[in-house]
Amino acid sequence: MNYGWIEIVLFYGGAISFGLWQFWKMDRMLKKTRAEKAAKDATEREDNPPAA
């Protein structure tokens, strides 16, 4: 039996899984950061109304 194919599948499967996990993690972190920034900006706008 050729164990090279098993090694290739396991190695690249792990590498692709790690890459997808990192992508998902960063996407969640960016959404959280953007939501926090939007909430902060909204409260700052409420505290300091524009001068008319």
Closest C-alpha among 33, 35, 51 to residue 43: 35
Instruction: pLDDT band for 39, please (50, 70, 90 cuts).
Output: very high
User: What is the H or E stretch that residue 15 is in?
Assistant: helix 3-47
Write the pLDDT tens digit of every residue in 8-36.
999 999 999 999 999 999 999 999 999 99
Q: Which long-range contacts (CB under 8 A, 24 or more apart) does 7-12 make?
A: none
Task: Write down the pLDDT at residue 50.
Answer: 65
Comparing 26-30, 38-42, 47-51, which segment has the lowest mean pLDDT?
47-51
Q: What global pTM score does this model have?
A: 0.65
Task: Write down the pLDDT at residue 52.
Answer: 59
Check pLDDT > 80 for residue 51.
Answer: no
